[in-house]
Amino acid sequence: MVPRAAHVEGRHIVLATDGSRFADAAAVTAGNLARVCGTPITVASVHKPSYGPERRAEAEEAVARVVAHMQREGSVSEGRVLEGDPAGTIAALARERGADLIVTGSHGRMGLQPVLLGSTSERVLNEAPCAVLVAKAA
């Protein structure tokens, strides 16, 4: 989805990950785009404080795993684990980084909420300051 005022120029990509297979599919897509376009990428996971320390550790591991993969594949990448509302926090990160593309998976961690039913991906679409690519897992 590309908002009317957005321009995809390959400045920066923000990849939202939660460690799920859906997020891994998004990571492959984002990594390929970053490599082809020579675009830096920020891999981010958003942790809600109410989730507890185990979930934060899972988020940190997921981000580290994806960043390591991106770097092995030749992409310039950094990782961030942030706290807050996932959709709003990802949109804010995209603004902060000057991103012109956010890549996210089509479903959340449990794979239960498709984009069209009010998932985090849909809320990212609504709050994003730039284009959003929702990648589907096969």
Q: What is the pLDDT at residue 120? A: 60
Query: What's the confidence (pLDDT) of residue 11?
Result: 84
What pLDDT score was predicted for residue 74?
87
What total of structural domains would you count in the chain? 1
Q: What pTM was computed for the model?
A: 0.83
- Residue 10: pLDDT over 80: no
| Residues 76-80, mean pLDDT to the nearest whole number | 92
Check whether 27 has a pLDDT greater than 60: yes
Establish if 5 belongs to a structural domain.
no
**Contacts (Cβ under 8 Å, ≥6 apart) of 17:** 23, 24, 26, 27, 43, 44, 45, 62, 63, 66, 105
Instruction: Provide the residue range defining the domain that includes 25.
Output: 13-135
Q: Look at residue 68 and tell me if it is in a domain.
A: yes
Res. 8 pLDDT band, cuts 50 70 90: low
